[in-house]
Amino acid sequence: MVRALKKLGMDLNMADPAGVPVLLLTALEFAEKDFILKILPEIDVIQHPKLGTTLNQASFQGLLKIVSALLNRELRIPGGVNNNGPQGMPLMVACYDGIYYSVVYLLKHGANTACKKLDGIKTTAMQSAHLHKDVMLLLQNFRKNGPRASEEQRTVVNANISML
């Protein structure tokens, strides 16, 4: 559907009455990654008041090809990787949802671990990741070893059977 509408000239940034760019979100959710990568020049400047940037959404959904492509090219959004969206910075969103490899990409590209939302609430990436032990271990390791920490193997966390 998204491909057909795009061929007909539909603007992916067009919003519904609530202000949500429905086609963009649909494209990120359901379209193939290669299609998204072709249209990145049109969508990396979106700054939605509720959903943030394309980088925020891709980090939240764990779309690593798209996160990588956005970070490996010059971002045209103010603040770049540390852009402050309504849900917080992309790192904050990825940490909160436990998207480990998005966190790795963002840290490699200079994401600030002191996060802030548009409403002024400040937090750290560690606080955002409190439900995800593997992400917390990565952040601790990053604090100690810097960017080298993101190259280390992911820590395997075993479930505590008695807690289940």
For residues 60-80, average pLDDT = 70
Q: Looking at residue 59, what is its pLDDT?
A: 79
Residues 121-160 pLDDT 10s: 788 888 888 889 889 999 999 988 887 776 777 766 666 6
Cα gap 83→112, rounded to integer Å: 10
- What is the 3 state secondary structure string of 33-68? HHHHHHHHHHHCCCEECCCEEHHHHHHHHCCHHHHH
Q: How confident is the model over 79-93, as a mean pLDDT?
A: 70
* Record: fold of 2-153: 1.25.40
Q: In the chain, where are the structural domains located?
A: 2-153
Task: List pLDDT tens digits, range 30-41.
Answer: 655 666 666 655
**Mean pLDDT, rounded, of the chain:** 73
